Amino acid sequence: MQLGSWYLGNGQASFTLWAPLLEQAALHIVAPEEKLIPMEQDDRGYWHVTTAATPGTRYFFQHNGTDDRPDPASYSQPDGVHKASEVVDQSTFQWTDESWQGVPLEEMVIYELHVGTFTPKGTFEAMIDRLPDLKELGINTIEIMPVAQFPGDRNWGYDGVFPFAVQNSYGGVEGLKQLVDACHREGLSVVLDVVYNHLGPEGNYLWCLGTYFTDKYKTPWGSAINYDDAHSDGVREYFVQNTLYWFRDFHIDALRLDAVHAIYDFGARHILHEISEATAQLSQQIGRKFYLIAESDLNDPRIIRSPEKGGYGMDAQWSDDFHHILHTLLTGEAHGYYEDYGKFHQFARIYEKGYVYVWDYSKFRKRYHGADPSDCPPKQFVVCSQNHDQVGNRMLGDRFSTLISFEAQKLAAVTVLLSPYVPMLFMGEEYGEPNPFLYFVSHSDPGLVESVRKGRKEEFAAFHAEGEAPDPQSEATFQQSKLQWDKRHEGQHQTLWQFYQALLKLRQSVPALTRAGADRTSYEVSGLDEEKVLRLRRWQGNSQVLCLMNFSQNPVQLTMTLPPGTWKKSLDSADTRWGGSGSTLPDVLPTDRTSSVPQQSFSFSPQSAAVYISE
């Protein structure tokens, strides 16, 4: 079933509205010529009409003979969330990616970005010129924060109210298709962030249809989307079709599903399972794999387990625990949810399992939390040191570049990029972008704007933040969040960029590092809690890599037992080449090839990391 308007060719278009509670519905075409055309309802509550209409036609759906409302499944809102929807011809774009198969999940190096702040112009088209730079860095996948139509022209995207419509100020349908096609030409996969747990507060005309939301459950944004209450079948279809729409019509390679812990479905067949099943069917039909990546703070491996194992079938998930333990070790922060982290032994556990909390008592939550995901391979976990949430939800939007030392920034890069998991960068971290990434909106309702300001202030109270947050409604807040890409050619910024590039070259060229782990038998990790040193060894065939990471702010004397082989130093963040004070580690760590033997003591520079390779 095609929801919304669908251009059929020959000057004809079909229109479909799911609204089982309406007594009557009509298509109200307002341009180029005004017409009011009654619609007929089928036995499932869908209203249909096929009539003369061409691409560019502007229309509303009229409810019960009175209210004109935009199409809930609109593909284009050229004049914003409160105005008429537009008929789009999805068949005219000339794709050039016929042979594209996508980057396998286990090989992805993801770069999360926000369209509006990634370039001065803040459009899809403007992004295209920067793709070669990302590829030169070593990125093979970009993740775009939500682009569903939101009110105004600046927003993170999580206030979207038309899940099928591409934000007009970014470039709309055509602009997004041009960007995806350009990415595929450059060898880059595209992940799109989608929001299936709530809709934004302004321009959300689905409320008036009486079926899309339920008060059975509450989310941080109000009533939950109705996935299991009366009249939920059309809601489920709506979001399943949205999933397929991005894959089929935009050639998107993967979707990141925002905050699935706020999706409530206690039916026998969870909506995430239904989405994953539909995605698998489309993958089979088209002949290439489409991926689903969940964001969840449940630490529940059912989300990523296969349906055969009682899971929902998501391909991967963000590991919040990885970020949290890394952040606390490097910053020392212990407010809010960070109070559950900060113990060094937790860092070894995150490498061993994928979660820190696997049915352990959480002081912050005041209950036991999580379950053991050891049966889930490392390639199912996406890890990062920074992302839009963890930077932008700080009161001042401050990044690691202003929170921790230059040495600690390099250490963070090693922990993420050489891990057995799928690594993700947040735009600008690779050169230490000094500008913050702040929260910004452009709502038109003064009361709503004031509520947003108040809500943000209450959130920061949990983190004991003092002072006043930048005004999210201000244009200046948005402009302050834009990247300064020229910085990557200057001083330490350039050094950090080159350090990231060197790490990614290792990940791409050394067999032991080339992909995220397919199981947990291709690496081992051990930690020295008192010294705050972590040892990570990864291998594949005859290729072995040893990563040593010192989180202490002091030099550490180490005496280590190494596996057999001749270990040659490939990279040391303390080296003067990388802006360090000078390496104190030997260039070669020889061992007996038939047995492990103790090594002599050596000094390890504070907050540094070294990589040794044995082949």
CB 75 within 8 A of CB 173: yes
Farthest-apart Cα atoms in the chain, separation: 86
Paired tokens of 510: 């050394």
Paired tokens of 278: 């539909």
Q: Give me the catalytic one of 295, 300, 315, 572.
A: 295
A 10 A CB-CB count for 14 gives 15
Q: Give me the catalytic one of 71, 112, 258, 340.
A: 258
Query: What is the Cα–Cα distance from 76 to 84, expressed in whole angstroms?
Result: 9
Whether residue 71 lies in the annotated active site: no
Query: What is the Cα–Cα distance from 355 to 334, expressed in whole angstroms?
Result: 19
Task: Name the E strands within 81-166.
Answer: 85-86, 110-113, 141-144, 148-149, 162-166
Give the residue carrying structure tokens 């999706």: 263
Q: Which residues pair with 49 in a beta bridge?
A: 15
- The DSSP-derived string for 526-581 is EEETTTTEEEEEEEETTEEEEEEEE-SSS-EEE--EE-SSEEEEEEETTSGGGT-S
Paired tokens of 183: 């990415």
Q: How many helices (H) and strands (E) in the chain?
A: 14, 33
Pairing mode, if any, of strands 291-294 and 254-257?
Answer: parallel
Paired tokens of 324: 């949290």
A 10 A CB-CB count for 402 gives 13
Query: What is the Cα–Cα distance from 444 to 428, expressed in whole angstroms?
Result: 30
Query: What is the Cα–Cα distance from 274 to 254, expressed in whole angstroms?
Result: 16
Query: What is the Cα–Cα distance from 190 to 103, expressed in whole angstroms?
Result: 9
End-to-end CA distance of the chain: 55
Whether residue 136 lies in the annotated active site: no
Q: Which 3 state secondary structure label does DSSP give 283?
A: helix
Q: Which residues pair with 61 in a beta bridge?
A: 27, 69
Query: What is the Cα–Cα distance from 300 to 271, expressed in whole angstroms?
Result: 16
Q: Which 3 state secondary structure label does DSSP give 318?
A: strand
C-alpha distance from residue 370 to each of 135, 271, 301, 362, 601 (Å): 37, 21, 8, 9, 39
φ and ψ at residue 107, rounded to 5 degrees: -105, 0
Query: What is the Cα–Cα distance from 260 to 250, expressed in whole angstroms?
Result: 23
A 10 A CB-CB count for 66 gives 7
CA angle at 600 for the pair 594 and 606, rounded to the nearest 5°: 120
Q: Which residues pair with 194 in a beta bridge?
A: 257
Paired tokens of 576: 């003067």
The answer, yes or no, to whether the previous bond of 163 is cis (omega within 30 of 0) is no
Q: Which 3 state secondary structure label does DSSP give 382?
A: strand
Catalytic residues: 258, 295
